[in-house]
Amino acid sequence: MMQLAITGATSGIGAEKAKVLAPKCSRIFLLVRNREKAKELVQSIDPSGNNDKFTIIHCDLADLQSVAAAASTLREATDNLDLLINNAGGIFPEKKLTKDGHELTFSANHLGHFLLTQQVMPLLTNGDGGRVISVSSEAHKGASIDRKDLELIRNFGSFKAYANAKLYNILFTKSLAEKYADKNLEAYALHPGVVNTGFGNQSKGIFKILLSLFKPLMISPAKGAKTGIFLATTKQVPGKNGDYFKKSKTASVSSQAKSKKLRDQLWEYSMEQIKEFV
């Protein structure tokens, strides 16, 4: 029985993962913005009310202080974590800066998870080996990186910011595998598929039109959760530590996703942004 922490579990593929993985876990830490939705999820998983295995922790990934507080609560609650699923994310129609001064897409999809993972690393490396699974997307292949403006604060575009963030999820995954493999840490990124959830409902322009066109072709959240569940439950994951998966198989990534120079730059930049919390 494993101990699991997951972000974004109150809806969509995150909720499906929590439901399927619950019987395999001794403890599940739900890192969420909305406590009431988390309580509803727990009730749907176990209507008996015997919910001792679930711990709900408030965590707003767009607020670094909130992330640090959530990680602190998690460290107080347990000394070991088998699995961290960085599941939450989103696309936003307009540029918005967080209270920390970061572009919202960058913070909610990458930087919040970067800080969270760093803060709980002692739990992930304090056992037989932990695993970090990050939800990326095939959208990473549409990334357009400005190395002098990684957050696109000066030249924001809604889809471009999202595509870049999904690329950062893969780069972060590869860095984790590179830096922590000697501590028995495994890290994987995945594409869940084009899932029929509330994702992108606030989008505007061409992206909103594309979403509406693809709606009939979208898969259910249950199907979208399958690759994440596969990576969470497979003892010997095929491929290499740091790989990217689609339909439960290793998949190709863009040339930018293979760039060690970009990977190292993102790591250094991200570490600089969270230095007051680590």
- 97 by Cβ neighbours in 10 Å (0-12 / 13-18 / 19+) ranks as middle
Question: Looking at the predicted structure, is the pLDDT value of residue 41 above 80?
Answer: yes
Residue in 168, 191, 77 with CA at minimum distance from that of residue 114? 168
Query: Averaged over 58-81, what is the pLDDT?
Result: 97
Rounded Cα gap, residues 163 and 190, in angstroms:
14
Q: Which two tokens stand for residue 40?
A: 């509803």
For the stretch 6-32, pLDDT in tens is: 999 998 899 999 999 999 999 999 999
Rounded Cα gap, residues 83 and 75, in angstroms:
14
For the stretch 190-223, pLDDT in tens is: 999 776 555 544 545 555 555 554 455 566 778 8
The amino acid occupying position 63 is D
Compute the radius of gyration of the chain from its Cα atoms.
Answer: 17
**pLDDT for position 195:** 60
**pLDDT for position 179:** 97
- Catalytic hit among 162, 168, 180, 188: 162
Specify the higher pLDDT residue, 195 or 276: 276
Name, in order, each residue with C-beta under 8 angstroms of 76's C-beta and a sequence gap of 6 or more: none
88 C-beta neighbours (distance < 10 Å), count: 26
Q: Are strands 244-246 and 249-250 parallel, antiparallel or unpaired?
A: antiparallel
- Within the chain, how many helices (H) and strands (E) appear? 10, 8
**pLDDT for position 200:** 45
Query: Averaged over 28-39, what is the pLDDT?
Result: 96
For the stretch 131-166, pLDDT in tens is: 999 999 999 999 999 999 999 999 999 999 999 999
**pLDDT for position 241:** 97
Rounded Cα gap, residues 12 and 63, in angstroms:
22
**pLDDT for position 128:** 81
For the stretch 91-138, pLDDT in tens is: 998 999 999 999 999 999 999 999 999 999 999 998 788 999 999 999
Rounded Cα gap, residues 145 and 41, in angstroms:
37
**Residue 188 annotated in active site:** no
For the stretch 231-268, pLDDT in tens is: 999 999 999 999 999 999 999 999 999 999 999 999 99
Strand ranges (E), 14-142: 25-32, 54-58, 83-86, 131-135
Query: Averaged over 83-95, what is the pLDDT?
Result: 94
**pLDDT for position 52:** 85
Q: What is the overall mean pLDDT for the chain?
A: 91
Q: 111: number of CA atoms within 13 Å, CB side?
A: 27
DSSP 192: -
For the stretch 43-69, pLDDT in tens is: 999 887 667 899 999 999 999 999 999
**Which domains occur in the chain, in start order?**
2-277 (3.40.50.720)
